[in-house]
Amino acid sequence: MAKVKIKFACTECGTETPKWLGKCPGCGSWNTMVEEKETVVKTQGMGSSIIQTKEKPLPIIHIESGQEQRIETTLLELNRVLGGGIVPGSLILVGGDPGIGKSTLLLQTSHALASKALTVLYISGEESVRQTRLRADRLGALTDKLYVLCETNMEQINEAIESVQPDFLVIDSIQTVYDPNVQSAPGSVSQVRECTAHFMRVAKIKGIATVLVGHVTKEGAIAGPRMLEHMVDCVLYFEGERHHSYRLLRAVKNRFGSTNEIGIFEMVEDGLREVTNPSELFLSERPLGVSGSTVVASMEGTRPVLVELQALVTTTNFPSPRRMSTGIDHNRMALIIAVLEKRMGMFLQTQDAYLNVAGGIKLDEPAVDLAAAVSIASSFRDAPTRPFDVFFGEIGLTGEVRAVSRAEQRVKEAQKLGFKRVIMPVKSLKGWTPPAGIEIIGVETVAEALAAAFG
């Protein structure tokens, strides 16, 4: 006889307790404990032939080394984010808001791999096979190597994997798949954890590159226990405003590549189209000769990107001025304002300050400090900077401008787009020769940078 056990699990971190608690003891979240029934059944388990292995432990010096083989797709932006292509046997988790284009991206990727004579199995738990065919017709993703199945039962999915023997597997989405041996509703903590663990074993043992689509919460994080992100090899977030056509694919975890890479796509009628030059995209609507607007050369992984920073400083009648930022860490903005007040003598205590990164991109590297400081000073003084200036550099608490990495790539990107001057840390000029046709101004302090910008 099966024994039913009642437990409570946190939907944020997966912590389990025998009784309900208002606050999770694992992550400290409130009202996240949900009731689940766990049935202990002595069985061989579904799909046991898939997850069994006879490999023995080996000394690490006897294991062959070398670069991971990768499967390159025709989507160069996706290859960039993944570190060069899809690694066979890897487990990838893709999250994003509803309707953002996750299924479109994966169906285009499946078609690209199937066109290279690879067998692809696309399992949808939310759409019928006819709905998937309609999307494939619109995208032009029709090939006999792409198999489609509408199924949510893990046992039936295992039979399909054994029958098709795919090279690439897509599960859309992991919250809809359920294990009949786990007595919980689909999408619960136990179901998501067990199903993900099973797909991880399938991917590693059979060498099938597997992509799991995950729902996101209203805060933007992937729904389900936090351990879900620890179990997979790569976590990708598909971001963007539903009312805009541009989409960003960002890697927040990648065991086979950089975690700072982004891929940029444009949603058009026939699917997602790659944006090969994002700097032109982010600067396409930039106004010239307006105070508070500057251009920063930022690095997103190995790619230099020029982005417009906009600042608005205005007098407030309230005793506590507002500090709001979009695309930049709020605490970093407060630090820059404090440096401008203390080191530059700007009286910002009676001023509301707003900082925005145009284009919806998020910048989290310290090299944007100098451009943010110049933008705030420009709006405060109501004095525009030169329209063809680029800024980058880290600001310290004493007002110094510190060196940043990959200065040469940032300068070359600015030159390619027609900018005339680059104001940057003087210590970043060592070890390389600036290209001809662009003026380089090295600064050591924020005062020198403002003098060069408004001189």
For residue 48, the model assigns a pLDDT of: 43
Residue 188, pLDDT score: 82
CATH of domain 72-276: 3.40.50.300
Q: Is 187 annotated as a binding residue?
A: no
What local confidence, expressed as pLDDT, does residue 52 receive?
Answer: 52
Q: Which two tokens stand for residue 174?
A: 């992991």
Residue found under tokens 């307790």: 17
213 with 187: CB under 8 angstroms? no
Check residue 57 and give its pLDDT.
87
Topology (CATH level 3) of domain 281-454: Ribosomal Protein S5; domain 2 (3.30.230)
Q: Work out the angle at residue 436's Cα, subtended by the Cα atoms of residues 430 and 439, and round it to the nearest 5 degrees.
A: 70
Check: CB of residue 98 under 8 Å from CB of residue 172: no
Was 99 annotated as part of a binding site?
A: yes
Flag whether 364 is marked binding: no
Q: What is the mean pLDDT of residues 406-410?
A: 94
Encode 263-330 in three state secondary structure: EEEEEECCEEEECCCHHHHHHCCCCCCCCCEEEEEEEECCEEEEEEEEEEEEECCCCCCCEEEECCCH
Annotated binding residue 100: yes
| 140-160 mean pLDDT | 94
77 in Cβ contact with 274 (< 8 Å): yes
Tell me what the mean pLDDT of segment 15-31 comes to. Answer: 87
Q: Residue 373: what pLDDT?
A: 97
Listed range (200-204, 256-260, 350-354, 437-441) with the worst mean pLDDT: 256-260
Annotated binding-site residue? 240: no
Check the annotation: does 382 bind a ligand: no
Average pLDDT of span 17-24:
90
Residue 314 scores a pLDDT above 90:
yes
**pLDDT greater than 50 at residue 397:** yes
Structure-block tokens of residue 39: 């049935």
Q: Flag whether 96 is marked binding.
A: yes
